[in-house]
């Protein structure tokens, strides 16, 4: 995977964290610079850590599933992307609740883990995709998520929830396209 593909993957994965960050900015009376950085560090760190763990878990089981690895990668990315699309098109919005205004370590840890579970599955997919430098991948994913999450808090405090749904839809489409590309490459169609 090239740097452009990794950057696009980083953007796609960071959309959940970005959407939560927008909600935090929307809910918070204090969308300060420090809270923006704190949000970026929590989300960026976990978005980098989870694919790293997933990559090594996938590598451990690669020999057992080598015949179907491209299908596993495709299905995982398709399911994650479809779930993001479903959330993006739903009418529910719980942005303005008290929990989203909380920047405590306990709340941030919970949200960082929740928004990065899909990155664990993507890490497994990356191990099966082949030709991926995991250090570059997790660095790009982590930095991208940091920037978008820190920015999301400020955007939420300014613009409100309009960006949240679009971010989830965009992230879902990106992950589905990357999964499709992996499958098509393994089938020698592209």
pLDDT of 65? 65
Amino acid 173: pLDDT:
86
Count of the separate structural domains present in the chain: 1
* The pLDDT of residue 38 is above 60: yes
Q: pLDDT tens digits for 21-37?
A: 887 887 776 678 999 99
Average pLDDT across the chain, whole number: 82
Domain span at 163: 3-186
Q: Which residue has the higher pLDDT, 104 or 63?
A: 104
Look at residue 136 in the predicted model and tell me its pLDDT. 93
Between 104 and 148, residue with greater pLDDT = 148
> Rounded distance, CA 23 to CA 12, Å?
18
pLDDT at 162 (0 to 100): 57
pLDDT digits (tens, 9 = 90+) for 42-87: 999 999 999 999 999 888 876 676 667 678 778 877 887 788 788 7
Q: At residue 99, does pLDDT exceed 60?
A: no
Whole-model pTM over 0.85: no
The pLDDT score that the predictor gives to residue 48 is: 96
Q: What is the pLDDT of residues 155-170, one digit of tens each?
A: 888 765 555 677 778 8
Report d(CA 186, CA 75) in Å as an integer: 14
């Amino acid at each position: 995977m090239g740097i452009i593909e990794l950057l696009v993957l980083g953007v796609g994965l960071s959309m959940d964290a970005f959407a939560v960050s927008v909600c935090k900015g929307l809910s918070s009376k204090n969308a300060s610079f420090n809270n923006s950085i704190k949000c970026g560090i929590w989300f960026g760190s976990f978005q980098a850590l989870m694919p790293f763990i997933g990559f090594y878990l996938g590598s451990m089981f690669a020999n057992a599933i080598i015949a179907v690895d491209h299908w596993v990668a495709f299905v995982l990315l398709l399911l994650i992307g479809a779930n993001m699309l479903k959330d993006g098109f739903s009418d529910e919005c719980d942005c303005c609740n008290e929990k989203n205004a909380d920047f405590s370590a306990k709340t941030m840890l919970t949200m960082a883990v929740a928004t990065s579970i899909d990155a664990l599955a993507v890490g497994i997919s990356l191990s099966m995709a082949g030709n991926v430098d995991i250090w570059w991948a997790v660095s790009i994913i982590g930095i991208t998520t940091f920037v978008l999450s820190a920015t999301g808090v400020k955007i939420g405090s300014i613009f409100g929830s309009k960006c949240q749904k679009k971010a989830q839809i965009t992230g879902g489409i990106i992950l589905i396209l990357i999964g499709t590309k992996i499958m098509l490459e393994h089938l020698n169609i592209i």
